[in-house]
Amino acid sequence: MRADLEMVKALLDGSRRVVVLTGAGISAESGVPTFRGRDGLWRNHRPEDLARPDAFEAHPDLVWEFYNWRRRLVAGCEPNPAHRALAELERVLPNFLLITQNVDGLHVRAGSRKLVQMHGSLWQVKCTVCTHAREDFGELPALPECPVCGHLLRPGVVWFGEPLVPGVLRIAIDRVSKADVFLAVGTSGLVQPAASFHQLAKDHGAVTVEVNLEPTPVSGFMDFALHGPAGEILPELIAGIADTASARSTGGGGR
Ligand code: APR
């Protein structure tokens, strides 16, 4: 794996357009449970019971209990070295986009700004009736109400069966298809549309790289598959780039 890691490092350093896709695995080392892995969230909670619009209509109290529990859990977690490495990569590469399926907000807290949160955010709430929407990091009541119209608020996340926020998919597809390096980190590669991004990138000529604790259904389709904890692999990958970039900016190196 060492040789592959060095090759990916060199690729990143020489690349012009890098797109990184992240999933729940990148937050695992922060203490946020993944969905499908060992101790995954969906082991104790059936997603079809909790993350669907019709489930919310039928049992808003149960769904809010689940989201309020996740908000409290994530509020007690910190970004880990993998989140911080991607924030650093954004700083040193000229054309970078981070697309995350995660709703935990840890990329933002780590400093990432060139970021698309495909599935929304745990920290967004929006009215089920009017246009009220806000970011809210506080403790919410069991059934929070809209301050404008009094109707029920809902989490600002994209549930199963719901379309993505308008424009998000267009931006993601545009940038993925223009990438010269595409990196998928900590995602099982099972949930669309993100699960197709590596193929889209490859079809348009990108080199594709997976960083995951273990092989996934898409590992075999990747040009490089780096297996191990993201919190160890990403800082190693990024260290080389950051060093070269700082050497370039001080005139000490170049490509
Ligand atoms: N480092 C790298 N990868 C890890 C680590 C780690 N420390 N820990 C776990 N992983 C990997 C697992 O091997 C698995 O492949 O992260 C992946 C997590 O997969 P999922 O739990 O399926 O999460 P994700 O792919 O993000 O799920 C996609 O599904 O339920 C929906 O909306 C939810 O956004 C989520 C979407």
**Would you give the DSSP letter of residue 145?**
B
Q: How confident is the model at residue 49 (pLDDT cuts 50, 70, 90)?
A: confident
| Domains along the sequence of the chain with CATH | 1-32+79-119+164-255 (3.40.50.1220), 33-76+120-157 (3.30.1600.10)
Query: 194 C-alpha to center of ligand 1: Å?
Result: 12
Tell me if 37 CB under 6 Å of ligand 1. yes
With a 6 Å cutoff on the Cβ, whether 40 touches ligand 1 is yes
pLDDT at 216 over 60: yes
| Alpha carbon nearest to ligand 1 atom 25, residue | 187
Which pLDDT score is estimated for 243? 64
pLDDT score for 254? 33
Q: Stretch 10-38: mean pLDDT, rounded?
A: 91
Residue with tokens 């259904």: 217
pLDDT at 14: 87
Give residue 111's identity as a one-letter amino acid code: G
* Closest ligand 1 atom number to CA of residue 160: 32
In this structure, the strands spanning 120-127 and 133-135 are antiparallel
Given this model, what pLDDT does residue 41 score? 62
Residues 137/123, Cβ–Cβ less than 8 Å = yes
Instruction: Report cis status (omega within 30 of 0) of the bond before 144.
Output: no
**Ligand 1 neighbour 186 (Cβ under 6 A):** yes
Burial status of residue 68 (CB atoms within 10 A of its CB: 0-12, 13-18, 19 or more): middle
- Choose the weakest-confidence range: 28-37, 86-95, 203-212: 28-37
Q: Express each pLDDT in 130-168 by its tens digit.
A: 999 999 999 999 999 999 999 999 999 999 999 998 899
Q: Ligand 1 pocket, 85 CB below 6 A?
A: no
Specify the pLDDT at position 50: 86
Q: Residue-wise over 99-108: b if at least 16 C-beta within 10 A, else e?
A: bbbbbbbbbb
Residue 37 has pLDDT above 70, yes or no: no
pLDDT of residue 166: 80
Among 34-38, 49-53, 83-87, where is mean pLDDT lowest?
A: 34-38
Q: What are the pLDDT digits (tens) for 109-126?
A: 999 999 999 999 999 999
Residue 107, pLDDT > 60, answer: yes
- Whether the pLDDT of residue 38 is over 70: the answer is no
Ligand 1 pocket, mutate which of 20, 32, 36 (most atoms under 8 A from CB): 36
- Alpha-carbon dihedral of residues 157, 84, 196, 66, nearest 10 degrees? -30
Determine the Cα–Cα distance for residues 19 and 175; give it in Å rounded to an integer: 7
Instruction: Provide the annotated active-site residues.
Output: 119
CA 91 – CA 245 distance, rounded (Å):
10
Q: Residue 163's pLDDT is what? A: 93
Q: How far is the CA of 189 from the centre of ligand 1 (A)?
A: 8
Q: What is the pLDDT of residues 72-100, one digit of tens each?
A: 999 999 999 999 999 999 999 989 999 99
Nearest to 136 by CA among 35, 52, 34, 64: 64
Reported as a pLDDT band with limits 50, 70 and 90, residue 251 is very low
Q: Which amino acid is at 100?
A: T
Q: What is the mean pLDDT of the chain?
A: 91
Instruction: Flag the least confident range among 31-40, 49-58, 64-73, 244-253.
Output: 244-253
Would you state the pLDDT for residue 1?
76
pLDDT tens column, 170-199:
999 999 999 999 999 999 988 899 999 999
47 Cβ inside 6 Å of ligand 1: yes
* Backbone torsions φ then ψ of 126, nearest 5 degrees: -145, 155
The pLDDT score that the predictor gives to residue 253 is 37
Contacting residues for 176 by C-beta, under 8 A, at least 6 apart: 19, 21, 99, 182, 197, 200, 201, 204, 206
Contact 242/92 with Cβ under 8 angstroms?
A: yes
